[in-house]
Amino acid sequence: MFQFIHCADIHLDSPLRGLARYDGAPLDALRGASRRALEKLVELAIEQDVAFVLVAGDLYDGDWKDYNTGLFLVRQMARLKAAGIQVFMVTGNHDAASQITRHLSLPDNVKVLSTRRPESVDVVELGVVVHGQGYATQAVSQDLSQGYPKASPGRFNIGLLHTSLNGRPGHASYAPCTVDGLRTRGYDYWALGHVHSREIVCQDPWIVFPGNIQGRHARETGSKGCTLVTVQDGAVQDVEHRELDVVRWVCCQVQTEGAGSPDQVVQRVRDALAAQVDQVEDQILAVRVILCGATAAHAQLRASPDQWANEVRACALDLNADRFWIEKVVDQTRAPARAPLDPDQAIGALLAGIDAAIMDDARVRELSTLFDDLRRKLPVELTSGEDGLDLQQPEILREAMADAREIILVGLLDASAQSSSNTSSNTSSNTGGVL
């Protein structure tokens, strides 16, 4: 029996751009997360006394800023060498030969497979053959796997490949292939990389994406790590996910139905965060909170978004300042249904006019042109990236108009209720004086 570790998409020293604009972000932990995750991988390999480690591409994130990236890798590979552990790796699109201009010699326990053609390495003492080919250039559009040799008879055969397989959402189509195509090679285990979500594609043969070892942004949520494989009598006995991430990105959806105030919404967030921390070991949780559902607090939340986002952050700090960072609070709440207002009354007529404007494409386009000057003055970080504010998008403008409608409605209804209360109070007072 022997064990090996299959990992991929380490993205060592990934730059994590834009973090500085996030108030309270644990910058040191985030910037050092990929290094610490690799250190944990090495510690796991030594602790489990694995025979070898497979790296299925994207060890780096692109060209090094300086030689410290390479020196850190050499140090970690030397630790594996001292423990008698071999490493077999292929390059991916981020660390293709054409992408990396700096190079350092790696310890001799590390074998980087050829980028020119498929290469096979015979690990005689284990009865294992590792087949693989790395990327010579960043964009590889051909099916590399069909150039791999047939399985070596009487050996445990492993295919090492950086690929999108037959396509995965959010990932460029590199070295595309199919499960049936991989089966034609006759291998026992396919160690894939490129897709950042863990996925066991097939068990006959085993075809596995281990995911990346450390999530890099809010779209890479959940546990990240490597796959520990146990082989006995020439067959896979166990395939186990092992966590390595230092910072865990979490999308925390909080239902707000029935909450009558923003304070009650914040309490629900607190309860949800407390449940999250119970599910992890020692990772820092980088949380995107998404508020969902119909709530009477909707207008107040939308009227003062910064206040309530920071109330959520304060709540997280109070709960556990060392474990939580609230990356963003996204308000997807909506107003609860109300009885229709009389369009012949002032408030009803005003809201009917706003509703008509929301549905009128020409008026929405006209509104967009009014924001041209504002758009030019906004900081670039507010208008670019995943959540950039694009005031030319009709749906964004319609959403803003709907928010304004709700804020106006609540304000007018509150004012009307207050006025009625004052009138009633004055009437009672006057009546009492008469009596």
The pLDDT tens digits for 315-356 are 999 999 888 999 999 999 988 876 555 555 666 676 667 677
Give the pLDDT band (50/70/90) at residue 413.
Answer: low
* Separation of alpha carbons 215 and 285, rounded Å: 11
Supply the pLDDT for residue 382: 60
Q: What pLDDT was estimated at residue 394?
A: 73
pLDDT tens digit string along 164-187?
998 777 677 899 999 999 999 999
E strands in 244-369:
247-255, 284-294, 324-334
Give the residue-averaged pLDDT of 264-293.
93
Token pair of 190, please? 């396919």
Whole-angstrom distance, CA of residue 392 vs CA of residue 378: 13
Which residue type does 402 have? A
Tell me what the mean pLDDT of segment 224-241 comes to. 97
Reported residue count of the chain is: 435
- C-beta neighbour count of 320 within 10 angstroms: 12
DSSP structure class, residue 400: H
**pLDDT number for residue 124:** 96
Q: Three-state SS for 377?
A: helix
Q: Note the CATH number of domain 2-243.
A: 3.60.21.10
Which of the four pLDDT bands, split at 50, 70 and 90, describes residue 158?
very high
- φ, ψ for residue 154, nearest 5 deg: 75, 10
In whole angstroms, give the CA distance from residue 172 to residue 58.
13
Q: Say if residues 268 and 254 touch (Cβ distance below 8 Å).
A: yes
pLDDT for 12:
93
Structure tokens at 133: 């080919």
pLDDT band per the 50, 70, 90 thresholds, residue 16: low
pLDDT of residue 381: 55
> Between residues 284 and 281, which one has the greater pLDDT?
284
DSSP code of 216?
A: -
What is d(CA 47, CA 26) in angstroms, rounded to the nearest whole number?
Answer: 29
Q: How far apart are CA 190 and CA 365, in angstroms?
A: 52
Tokens 């791999």 label which residue? 148
Q: Percent of the chain having pLDDT more than 90?
A: 61
**Residue range 96-123: average pLDDT?**
90
> Using omega within 30 degrees of 0 as the cis cutoff, is the peptide bond preceding 210 cis?
no
Residue 19 DSSP SS3: helix
The residue type of 257 is E
Task: Reply yes or no on whether the pLDDT at 429 is more than 50.
Answer: no
3-class secondary structure, 324: strand
Helices (H), 57-107: 68-82
What sign for the dihedral angle of Cα 353, 359, 362, 365? positive
What integer pLDDT is reported at residue 237 of this predicted model? 97
- Say yes or no to pLDDT of 415 above 90: no
Residues of the chain with CATH 3.50.80: 246-337
Residue 430: band (very low, low, confident or very high) from pLDDT cuts 50, 70, 90 = very low
Among 99-113, 123-137, 323-337, 373-387, the range with the most confident prediction by mean pLDDT is 123-137
Q: What percent of the chain has pLDDT over 70?
A: 79
Name the segment(s) of the chain with CATH classification 3.60.21.10.
2-243
| Helix ranges restricted to H, 161-282 | 179-183, 262-277
Interatomic CA distance for residues 358 and 398, integer angstroms: 6
Q: Strand pairing of 189-193 and 156-162?
A: parallel
What's the whole-number average pLDDT of the chain? 86
Q: Which residues of 84-100 are buried (b: 16+ CB within 10 A; e: fewer)?
A: ebbbbbbbbbbbbeebb
Look at 198-212, 249-263, 302-316, 337-351 and tell me which has the smallest mean pLDDT. 337-351
Round to whole Å and give the CA distance between 7 and 10.
8
User: What distances in angstroms separate CA 280 from CA 203, 243, 273, 325, one per listed residue?
Assistant: 28, 10, 12, 15
Q: Give me the pLDDT at residue 370, please.
A: 67
What is the C-alpha separation between 119 and 91, in angstroms, rounded? Answer: 13
pLDDT at 314: 95
pLDDT in tens, 200-209: 999 999 999 9
Identify the helix (H) or strand (E) that includes residue 432.
helix 394-434
Q: Report the alpha-carbon distance of residue 226 to residue 54 in Å, rounded.
A: 10
In angstroms, rounded to a whole number, what is the distance separating the alpha carbons of residues 355 and 363? Answer: 11
Nearest Cα to Cα of residue 228 among 58, 50, 404: 50
Q: What is the mean pLDDT of residues 57-69?
A: 89
Instruction: Calculate mean pLDDT across residues 272-288.
Output: 90
The distance of Cα 368 from the centroid of its chain, to the nearest Å, equals 31
* CATH 3.50.80 describes domain 246-337: yes
Q: Return all residues near 130 (Cβ < 8 A) that are at least 6 apart.
A: 52, 54, 88, 113, 120, 121, 123, 158, 160
Average pLDDT of the segment spanning 417-434: 46
The arithmetic mean of pLDDT across residues 222-226, rounded, is 96
**pLDDT band at residue 434 under the 50/70/90 scheme:** very low
pLDDT at 432 over 70: no
This prediction has a pTM of: 0.79
